[in-house]
Structure 1
Amino acid sequence: MIKEIDALLKVWALELHSDFSAGGLAGGNMVAMMMESNGQLIRGRRASRVPLESSMDIELIVTKHLDEQLATVVREHYCCHDFNMRLRYAHCGCGRDTYYQRLHDAHLFIEGMLIGRAA
């Protein structure tokens, strides 16, 4: 895993996909928030819980650009803390080694996309 990407994904999951991001704001889902506000993302609605720009970038990358197998592993790893690891592997349809290889591949892809956006 890439430590910097791991940290960004933890923040992404906390801000947009956790119980803390709920509260009448479409559960923190960027697309749902935009639907609620007629296509506009109004960041000020969340007061002090405004998502970081990097979280919004990662949401876009995971939902639109990441391969479905890799996106599934990312969501399982960062958003589903209630399940044991064997259940996560089963939900992803792979074993332990493949799970972590996909997670690493996802980190590489996300890093590449973020670097591409910064340039």
Structure 2
Amino acid sequence: MIPYIDEALQRWAEAQASEADCTSNMGNSVIASLMASQGVLNRAARGSRVLVNRVTEIGWILSKHLSPEQRQVVIEQYCSNLPQREKWVACGCSRAQFYRRLGQAHRAIESQLLKRAV
């Protein structure tokens, strides 16, 4: 796995979870976000090197550039609270295949981020 991509995907999953909380409570708007964060504008998560706009790019890449199998593995790995063994079962693959797909997804995301940076 690629450490920077791993961190970016963790931030993406956190954003997905907080967005779900925000939309269930107050709607999806800037005002709702500021209310949820008590007026603090958070441009990056806890000193992370991954900026918020990068999180949006990650979401776009996941939806447009990954195979369904790779997307499923990423979602299970970063958004699910299941034990690892249950994540493999949910994806319908072995442990080795799960991590192979996850590595492929990391490389595909890195490639797309590099293309978009140019």
**TM-score of the aligned structures, taking structure 2 as reference length:** 0.77
Could you tell me which amino acid in structure 1 is paired with residue 71 of structure 2?
A: A
Q: How many residues align?
A: 104
Q: For residue 12 of structure 1, what is the aligned residue in structure 2?
A: 12
What aligned pairs does 1:3-82 form with structure 2 within 5 A after superposition? 3-16=3-16, 18=17, 20-25=18-23, 33=28, 45-47=32-34, 48=41, 52-81=52-81
Correspondence for 1:85? 84
The runs of 5 or more residues in structure 1 that have no matched partner are 28-32, 34-41
Structure 1 position 23, deviation (Å): 3.7
Whole-angstrom distance in 1 between the partners of 2:31 and 2:6: 27
- Distance in 2 between residues matched to 1:43 and 1:108, nearest whole Å: 33
Which residues of structure 2 form unaligned runs of 5+? 35-40, 45-51
Q: Could you state the TM-score of these two structures normalised by the residue count of structure 1?
A: 0.77
Runs of 4+ in 1 over 6 A off after TM superposition: none
**Distance 1:44-1:112 versus aligned 2 partners, 3 A rule:** farther
1:86 alignment partner, SS class:
helix
